């Protein structure tokens, strides 16, 4: 899925290259279990990838990322990915990169256009027959009014 290709780019995913300066990593102390380790080590990882300013990905992929991961994008157009599941910074960093690459890979997939179809003659007939049956049932529920001419 991904591999490093030298100093100028960091990751290759489905024809998309991310330049090293486009993804900013920061580290913070994670919450949750971990004992004293939580208070001492900054094991949580936060990746910031500015989707709108990126020169590495196509406009199509940018638009798809903005729609797919809209809840993870801040007002500056940065995709924020946080990982703090593991106790080690290395594992959290790996997890955050997997999440980022997964979003980019999903955004890069082209969706097939829907092919419109018409209902067959039999389907139309069954639908109309069903509607007639329901109508008869409802007609049977109606009160019978008697008109008397006095």
CATH no., domain 9-108? 3.30.160.20
| Rounded distance between C-alpha atoms, residue 66 and residue 77, angstroms | 8
pLDDT at 7: 42
Structure-model confidence comparison of residues 9 and 89, the more confident one: 89
Strand partners, 126: none
93-116 pLDDT, tens digit each: 899 989 998 898 888 888 888 899
Instruction: Write out the H or E segment, with its range, that includes residue 135.
Output: helix 121-141
| Cα 26 to Cα 23: distance, rounded to the nearest angstrom | 10
The tens digit of pLDDT for each residue in 58-77 reads 888 888 888 888 888 888 88
State the chain's mean pLDDT as an integer: 80
Closest CA to 47 of 20, 11, 21, 83: 83
Percent of the chain with pLDDT over 90: 19
């Amino acid at each position: 899925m991904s591999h490093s290709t030298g100093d100028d780019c960091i990751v290759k995913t489905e024809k998309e290259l991310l330049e090293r300066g486009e993804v900013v990593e920061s580290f913070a102390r994670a919450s949750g279990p971990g004992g004293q380790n939580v208070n001492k080590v900054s094991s949580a990882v936060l990746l910031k990838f500015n989707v709108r300013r990126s020169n590495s990905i196509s406009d199509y992929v940018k638009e798809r990322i903005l729609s797919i991961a809209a809840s993870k994008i801040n007002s500056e157009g940065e995709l924020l990915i946080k990982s703090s599941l593991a106790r080690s910074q290395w594992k959290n960093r790996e997890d955050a990169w997997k999440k980022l690459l997964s979003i980019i890979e999903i955004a890069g997939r082209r969706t097939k256009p829907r092919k419109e179809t018409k209902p067959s003659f039999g389907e139309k007939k069954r639908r109309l027959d069903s509607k007639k049956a329901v109508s008869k049932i409802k007609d049977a529920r109606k009160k019978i009014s008697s008109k008397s001419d006095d």
